Amino acid sequence: MKFLFSSFVIVGLLCGEATAQVPDSTYEQALGTVVRFAKEMTVVVPCLYTAAPLAKDKPDPVEDTWGTVEFKNVLGRFASTGASPAQIDALNKAFAENYRPKWAVDDIRAFARFCQESKIIDDAARLSGQGAPLMLRDPFRAK
């Protein structure tokens, strides 16, 4: 009987490891942060392109810090903290559903003025507010 109980404990531990995940509260916070980030980046990223000096043969600083590249890097680090594949898939889906940069504008001058007046570019330069990269937002912020 003791052997049978021990076998169940071992199987239970192995199954638990296979479905490891971050706590629900951390996951819910991550999900809310990803949705908010994706929606903010829908406006922030195009605004940054109105102000960013881009070099032809260099990495794209906007995409690397605020766009899809940043999201994938942060999500990889979050997965390494114990998030389950299902949690990571849900975060990916939330980002994909909410990150929709508006590349076409009717009047680029009015859009650039909006970006300046709304302080989006200033926030991004300070890495704060709506311009904060995902890696600086909880629960993704390095502790």
pLDDT of 35-55, one tens digit each? 999 999 999 999 998 887 766
83-99 average pLDDT score: 96
Asked if the model's pLDDT at residue 14 lies above 70, the reply is: no
The domain of 80 spans: 22-136
Query: What is the pLDDT, as a whole number, of residue 76?
Result: 94
**What is the maximum alpha-carbon separation in the chain?**
78
- Domain annotation covers residue 7: no
Please report the pLDDT score of residue 99 as a whole number. 93
8 in a structural domain? no
Asked if the structure places residue 102 within a domain, the reply is yes
Contact 135, 141 (CB under 8 A): yes
**CA–CA separation, 35 vs 95, rounded Å?**
6
Give domain status of residue 66, yes or no: yes
Q: What is the pLDDT of residue 143?
A: 65
Tell whether 143 is covered by a domain.
no
Average per-residue pLDDT for the chain = 84
* pLDDT at res. 16: 41
- The pLDDT value given to residue 4: 40
Q: Is residue 6 assigned to a domain?
A: no
Give the mean pLDDT of 84-106.
Answer: 93
The set of residues, in sequence order, having a beta carbon less than 8 Å from that of 139 and lying 6+ positions away, is 26, 29, 30, 33, 78
pLDDT score at 103: 83
Which residues are within 8 A (CB) of 141 and not within 5 positions of it... i.e. 6 or more apart? 135
Please list, in sequence order, all residues whose beta carbon lies within 8 angstroms of the beta carbon of residue 92, skipping any fewer than 6 positions away.
75
- Maximum average pLDDT range among 1-5, 19-23, 41-45, 85-89: 85-89
Number of domains the chain is built from? 1
Non-local CB neighbours of 140 within 8 Å, separated by 6+ positions: 30, 33, 74, 77, 78, 134
Residue 27 has pLDDT above 90, yes or no: yes
What proportion of the chain, given as a percentage, has pLDDT over 70? Answer: 84
What's the rounded Cα separation, in Å, for the pair 71 and 67? 6
Which is nearest to 137 in space by CA: 90, 70, 87? Answer: 70
